[in-house]
Structure formats: C-alpha cells, structure tokens
Structure 1
Amino acid sequence: MANELNYDNMTEEQRKKQAKKAALASIVGTSIEWYDFFLYGTMAALVFPKLFFPESDPYIGLIQSFATMFIGFLARPLGAAFFGSYGDRIGRKATLVTTLLLMGISSTLIGLLPTYENAGIIVSILLVFLRFCQGFGAGGEWGGSVVLSVEWSSKKSRGLMGSMTQIASPIALLLSSGVVSLTIFLTGDNFYTWGWRIPFLISIVLVMIGFIIRRGVADSPQFTKMKKENRLANKPVIEVFKKYPKVLLLVILSSLAQGIPFYVFTTFAISYGTEYLQLDKQFLTNTILLVAIVEIIVILYAAHLSDKYNRKVVFYIGSLLTILVAFPFFWLMDTKITVLVVVAMCVSILGAGAVYGPLAAMIAECFPANLRYSGTSLGYQLSAAIQGLSPLLCVYLLNTFSSSVPISIYLIVACLISIVAVSMLGKNTNQIDMDKAS
C-alpha cells in the first residue's frame, strides 16, 4: 500500500516511481477540477445570461453571469485556508481527494439545475451556491497538487514537476472547450435548452477516474518525516500570516501576470468575440482548443528552462511577452479575419504560459515544509480572487469606453506589478534546498 512505504529505505528507482505517480495524479486530478471551473466560465459567457438572467438586457445579463463566476474566485481563498490547514496537519493526499469530490459533485449538480423560466429566482441563488462550492474546492486543489508533486521531485526537476499541475490548466481548458464545442455541434439548436447540461454531467465520470488515481499516491517524504518527528504546525494558516506576511503579499502580486492575461485571453475573449464582434461561437471555442495546446507546450518548456537556468528570468520574459501583445491582441481580433483572430489568440497565451511554467515551483519554494500547503494555497488563491475580476472588469471597461484600450492598459499594469513583486522575492528560488527549509 502507498501509505506503508518505508521512505528512509526507498531506492532511487522507487522514489522515481512514486514521483511519476504524483505527477500523474497532479495532471489528471487537477485537470478534472479545472475542467469543472473553466466549464463554468465558458457557459457564463455563452449560456447562463439567457437561462438564468433572462429578464436583464444583454449587457446586464452578462455582468450578472460573470458576477456569479466571480463568486467562485471569492470562495477560493476560503478554500485555500480551510484545505491548506488540513493539508499541513493531516496530509496532502487525503485533502486532495476531498477537493476533487467537492468540485465534481458541485459541477454535476449545476448540470441538473432547472432554468429561471421553470424555477424563478431560487435557481439563480442555487447557481451562486454551487459556484461557491466549486471555488471552495478549487481553493485547496492547486496548492496541494503543486506541493505534492514538487516535494516528490529532485532539486534539479522541481520546476518541471511543478508544471505537471500547471499543464492541467490548459488540458482542462482543452477538455472543457472540446466538450462544449462537440456538444454545440451535436445538439445544434437544442444546446440552449438541454445540450448545455451534458458537459456538466460528464464531471461525475471524470471525478471517479481522478479519485481512483489519487488513491494510489503516497504522501510526500517531507510531510511523512515531519509527522513522524511531530514537527507539524498546529495552526499553519495563522503562522503563515504571522511569519511570512511580506512573502505572502509578493506571491499574491507575482501571480497576477499569469491569471489576469489568461482570463482576458480565454474567458473574456469568447464573450468579446461573440457579443461585441459577432463572431461564430463554434469558431471561438474551437480556437480555444488550439490555444490550450499552445499553452501546454509553452508551460512545459518554460518550466524546463526554469530548472536549467533561472526561474525569475523565465518569469520576466513571459511577463514582457504579454505586455508586447496587450494592444495587438485586440487589433487583430477587431479585424474579424479568421486567420488573424486565431493568430491573436494563440500568440497572446505565450506570455501567460511562460509565466505559469515556473510559477508553481517558485511559490512552493517560498515556504517551509510545515507551512507549504497553506502558504502556497493562500498566496495563489488570494491572487486568484483579484484575477477573477478580470472578465467582469473587462465587460465594464468595454461598455463604458467602447474601446479595448483600457483593457490593454489593465494587462500591462498587472504584468508590471508582478515583475516588481518577483524581483523582491529575494534570491533566485532555484537555490533553495526545500528538504532543509522546514
């Protein structure tokens, strides 16, 4: 059994085998959880305004829909504190199994909701509650997945192992967009009546697969050693705020250069393309599939470079790439020319992917082992609460100024803030020996 492993007597081959299991669990488990989370974002742009807020005009309906989406982001820091505490006191593995189940059940229930026409305002309230549950589960997922995979890695492969969690994001985007695109194709006009439910109901099958895989993974040697030596933190969340307030703030700001561009170039891009430019929704969801593939490649290569050279340098390059495409992205989108729209969306994700690659290891390396789950989760998810405003804010800016210029400026400012924050994190995190950090 995985939990009966003798870590002290493990051979290098056994350690590598467990590391591969941890990597697989990170990819599969986190992909499933982000599938649920991103699926909601896609439906918030395409379907929910019509089904759950039909009495509002299109602009208000879209605002209301993205506002329910933002509820999930508000819940993520709460989930990070709750599950982070359990992850540092009880174990990484058990906590991650729980977050997976919470996300899957919430998404499945969304697929079973009646519409506003059938149940009135109560269904909108239920939608908000289930979105909150999604966010609460997601809040404990990312940090735990990163910590488990990074703690099983060697110092030389920490960035690449951390990226196993990172590529789960575009894999989930690929999966959710692919399922939505296929559902639109198969159900046609029925997509808005019952077809939209199918992607949500598929969640329960995916969760069962993820549950089986995660059950076979052992907790990391670092956590097991701390538990055996009775060195676990009693109140890890409180200790993170007391002992590492500056680091926590810098981690929050550092993550903006990934999250804000990602949600602008994916979730908001679908809304911008369909509502503002009147582009075909099938075309846009298909393009997102290509965007996800590009991001997977960039994340893995950036993570590899961060192990080989310097995480901070890779992060800076990614942020600068986003700054360079902030204005051209909308210029190309506005042409409505198919090839140029595809180019805009694929090129735009290069910067976010290059930032995301080294980000997981860089954040995990900032905290000692006994506080790592809590610190990593809180830093990233508090930043996510800020990032989650992006689609909502972009809709407001576009409606207020009738121009994409303020949105481009917003992207640039976010990246500049992150560059400054990363520069203040101290020495290059590659140099930190995580085994001795606790």
Structure 2
Amino acid sequence: MAASQSGAMPLSDEEARRQLRRAVIASTIGTTIEWYDFFLYSIVTGLVFAKLYFPESNPIVGTLQAFLIYAVGFLARPVGAAIFGHYGDRIGRKATLIVTLLLMGLATFAVAFVPTYAAIGIWGAVVLTVLRFIQGVGVGGEWGGSVLMSMEWARTNAHRGFVASWPQFGVPAGLFLANLAVLAMSEIFGNAFFTWGWRVPFFLSIVLVAIGLYIRLNILETPIFAKLVAERRIEKTPMLEVLRRQPKDIFLSAFARMAEQAPFYIFTAFVFTYGVTTLGVSRNLLLTAVLVASVLEFGTIPLFGHLSDRIGRRRMYMIGAAAVGVFGFIYFAMVDTKNPTWIFAAIVLSLVPHAMMYGPQAALIAESFTGRLRYSGASLGYQLASVIAGGPAPLIATALFAYFHSGYAIAIYILACAVLSLVAASRLGDYTNKDISREYDDPRPIGDSGHATPSA
C-alpha cells in the first residue's frame, strides 16, 4: 500500500488507486497546458514573428532571428530544471508543479499583449525574448515533477513505463491544441490573423491555466517523497548532490534525447518555414497534418510506454532512435515531391518513431536517479537536451538548407542525432520492473520483484 502524507498510516488499496488516477490526470492535463503554451509560441514563430518583429530583414535572416528568440526558451529550460529540481526534491513534487504552471501560463498570456516592431521598434523583440525565457524556465521545472507525480504513485513496478508515459501524452495533446487554435484563428480571421488574430490563442491560455491549477491543488504528494520526508532523507542541496553522485546519468540522459528532440522540432516547427517558403504549400495544410500526427501520438505514446514494460525500456528506446535516423531521409524524399498528399503523409508518419522513444523516455530517464535526487537529476538530464538538441534544431536546419539547398543535408543531421542517442541510451541503466522506492545507495540490493517496497 502507499504511504499517507504523514508517513504514519497507509492508504487503502482503493484510495491508492484513486490517488494514482488523480495524479495521472493532473500530470497529463498540466503538461498539456504547458506544452500548449510552448508549442503555440513555436508555431507562431515560423508563421508570424519574423514578419512582425523583424520586418526590415530579408526572409531567411528574419526567420533565423525569430528562431533565435525561439531558441531562448530552450536555453532557459536547464535553468528551470536547476531551480525547480532543487525545490521538487526539497519541498515536494506537488507545490513545485503549481508554481511552474503559473509561471508558464502567465508568461504565455503576456505574449498576447506584446507590441510589434511597427509600434515600439526592436523593443518588441526584446520583450518577446524575456517572456520566452520565462516560458522556458517554467517548462524546465514542469516535466520532471509531472513524470514523478505519476510514476511515484504507480502501485507495481510492472506498469511504470505505461503510467509514466501519460505525462508525455501532454506533448501531442498540447501540440494538437496549439495547432488547432492557430488553424481556427487563421480560418476565422483570414488576413487579419497576421495583424492581431494570432494573439487570441495566447490570450485564451489563461483559461487553461485556471483549469490546471484547480486540478493540481487537489492531489496528494507522492508516496516516495512522503517516505523520504518521514525517514528524514531530504537532501539540503539536491542539485549539487546529483551532480556529484550521478553526473554520468545526467549527460547520458541529455544525449539520449538527441534523436527524439531535434527531429521533433524539425518535423513540427521548422516544417512551417520549409513548407510555406520553399515548397509553396499552404500553412493550413501543414497545420492540419501536424494536428493529425499529434492525434496519432495520443495512442502511440502510451502504447510504446506499455511495450517498454514488456521488452525493456532501453531496448524500446533504441529501436525508436534507429527508426528516426532512417526516417529522416524518407521524410525529405516525400515532402520534396511538393505533392500535398505525400507532404501530409510524411508529417503524420514523422511522429511514429518519435513516439517509440517518447513513450518509454520518461521512465527510462527518471528511473536512472535515486529517489531523493530524482526530480533534480531527471529534470536536468532531460532539459540539457534543449540546449544541444531542441533549441538549435530549427536554426541548424535553416542554416543547412540555406547552404546546401537540399533537405537531405537536414536528414544527415537527423541521422547524426540518432547515432548519438543510440550510443548514449546503450550506456544508461535499465530499471524496467525494478524497485525504485528504495534509495540506490542503500546497502540492500535493488529488488527485481514485480511489486514496489511498501512506502510506510
């Protein structure tokens, strides 16, 4: 049974199941809102920001400048991981997640009111940069807490990959909502979308934040953290401690994400610039294709999380990394036909190999760190990839195409990311079906049983 919040009395099986459901729902809805905010900015960057905030630059330079602001959010994510990882391991998963949701949501809401270059000159881009940084800090602290909130409520070791995959569900759900919002505003406002219609989805984000806040206020702390508090095993400086004890796992986690994160932002963010300016297809076709791809991930992310419980977390992840390395060439062969049907199919299929990695990824990374350092270690390892993969990817893709004038140059970059991920993932520990409620440096061995050690 799971421990109560005091650590003195265990919860009943029924109450533990209820808390698991609440934790999964709260984590999934929370990450959906946070990723809606983050992806909304990503989509509008490629469609609008270059024209409104850098109008005096030529199209390629303006796009690069807009994506530089976009990249700031990724640079900020390790900062958020360090800040909120510390507090997540010090004061708890729940309280930290409430703060990250508010930080991200309010920054996104504020984007709706940023004046353009025509109104205040370059200061509009400066304000966007500051808000994007705040967004990145919020996302940097969100992921680790959401995953742990679900994973640490799992009642058996045998289904942890599946349970931990649900916060990952927030990515395609947020991507779907962000694309849907932009597509709807584009259809409703027509040409006015480029003047003020793009602001409406940012404005509406405040409603989602209110919903997410209400849900998160009504969940309990995880049994594993409650146990750490009861046993007085909370670290004073968990971020420094995890850097001292598990630096290898942090960097392996970051590099393992190369094949998942860099191609993802090429397929879902860079594609808008490439599709509209190079291929000459409509933005609505691209938005609709990304919508369908994200809906497909609604099922594939939990599916591959479940499969990782059966065949092993690391094995499932490496299959996905190999698949994306090959698919990059297939993707550009399809989109370069300029045939709308092939372009649509390429975008939809691009998120299948992504799901093969993203489903098991949460458990693979989070399980690598001992409980009292897990929020700090998992957050930092996950978010460092933003600096080396997600943030630079659209910039690198834009620069590669500008130099080589070929999508296959970008496919080679994707292949290189896949190779790095395969090497890193092969060296990560695999804790599939192992007990993670016991501290890894405890002198007793980590068990392989199908049931977690009691938390009280």
TM-score by length of 1: 0.97
Deviation at 1:9, TM superposition (A): 2.0
Structure 1 contact 365–432 (Cα < 8 Å) conserved: no
What residue number does 2:412 align with? 409
Structure 2 contact 4–10 (Cα < 8 Å) conserved: no
Which residue type is aligned with residue 29 of structure 1?
G
Describe how 1:315-334 pairs up with structure 2 within 5 A: 315-334=317-336
What residue number does 1:341 align with? 343
Structure 1 contact 7–221 (Cα < 8 Å) conserved: no
What residue number does 1:385 align with? 387
Describe how 1:272-351 pairs up with structure 2 within 5 A: 272-351=274-353
In the alignment, which of 395, 398, 402 is matched to residue 395 of structure 1? 398
Which residue type is aligned with residue 420 of structure 2?
I
Measured in 1, the distance between the counterparts of 2:30 and 2:8 equals: 24
Secondary structure of 1:216 counterpart: coil
Measured in 1, the distance between the counterparts of 2:78 and 2:325 equals: 27
What residue number does 2:157 align with? 155
What residue number does 2:376 align with? 374
Indicate whether 1:192 and 2:194 are aligned.
yes
Deviating more after overlay: 201-210 vs 152-161: 152-161
What residue number does 2:238 align with? 236
Deviation at 1:432, TM superposition (A): 2.8
Indicate whether 1:139 and 2:140 are aligned.
yes
Which residue type is aligned with residue 58 of structure 1?
P
What residue number does 1:130 align with? 131
What residue number does 2:450 align with? none
Which residue type is aligned with residue 294 of structure 1?
L
Mind listing any 5+ residue stretches in structure 1 that lack a counterpart? none
Which residue type is aligned with residue 377 of structure 2?
G
Deviation at 1:328, TM superposition (A): 1.3
Measured in 2, the distance between the counterparts of 1:93 and 1:252 equals: 25
Measured in 2, the distance between the counterparts of 1:176 and 1:7 equals: 44
Measured in 2, the distance between the counterparts of 1:240 and 1:297 equals: 34
Deviation at 1:82, TM superposition (A): 0.2
Secondary structure of 1:434 counterpart: coil
Deviating more after overlay: 319-328 vs 105-114: 319-328
Measured in 1, the distance between the counterparts of 2:114 and 2:266 equals: 28
Residues 1:410 and 1:210: Cα distance change in structure 2 (over 3 Å): same
Indicate whether 1:418 and 2:421 are aligned.
yes
Aligned length: 436
Measured in 1, the distance between the counterparts of 2:55 and 2:340 equals: 31
Deviation at 1:431, TM superposition (A): 4.1
1:373-422 alpha-carbon deviations (Å, 9 max, x no partner): 00010000001221211001100100011111221011111111111111
Structure 1 contact 367–437 (Cα < 8 Å) conserved: no
In the alignment, which of 174, 178, 181 is matched to residue 179 of structure 1? 181
Measured in 2, the distance between the counterparts of 1:32 and 1:268 equals: 22
Deviation at 1:230, TM superposition (A): 1.3
Measured in 1, the distance between the counterparts of 2:72 and 2:176 equals: 23
Mind listing any 5+ residue stretches in structure 2 that lack a counterpart? 441-456
Measured in 1, the distance between the counterparts of 2:6 and 2:296 equals: 38
What residue number does 1:203 align with? 205
Structure 1 contact 296–353 (Cα < 8 Å) conserved: no
Which residue type is aligned with residue 283 of structure 2?
K
Measured in 2, the distance between the counterparts of 1:26 and 1:53 equals: 37
What residue number does 1:38 align with? 39
Measured in 1, the distance between the counterparts of 2:237 and 2:206 equals: 33
Deviation at 1:4, TM superposition (A): 5.8
Measured in 2, the distance between the counterparts of 1:99 and 1:9 equals: 29
Segments of 4+ moved more than 4 angstroms: 2-7
Measured in 2, the distance between the counterparts of 1:303 and 1:4 equals: 28
Measured in 2, the distance between the counterparts of 1:105 and 1:249 equals: 31
Task: Note the aligned Cα RMSD (angstroms).
Answer: 1.3
TM-score by length of 2: 0.94
Measured in 1, the distance between the counterparts of 2:148 and 2:209 equals: 21
What residue number does 1:226 align with? 228
What residue number does 1:8 align with? 9
In the alignment, which of 244, 248, 255 is matched to residue 250 of structure 2? 248
Residues 1:33 and 1:7: Cα distance change in structure 2 (over 3 Å): farther
1:185-231 alpha-carbon deviations (Å, 9 max, x no partner): 00001001110000100110100000000001111011011112211
Matched-pair identity in %: 42
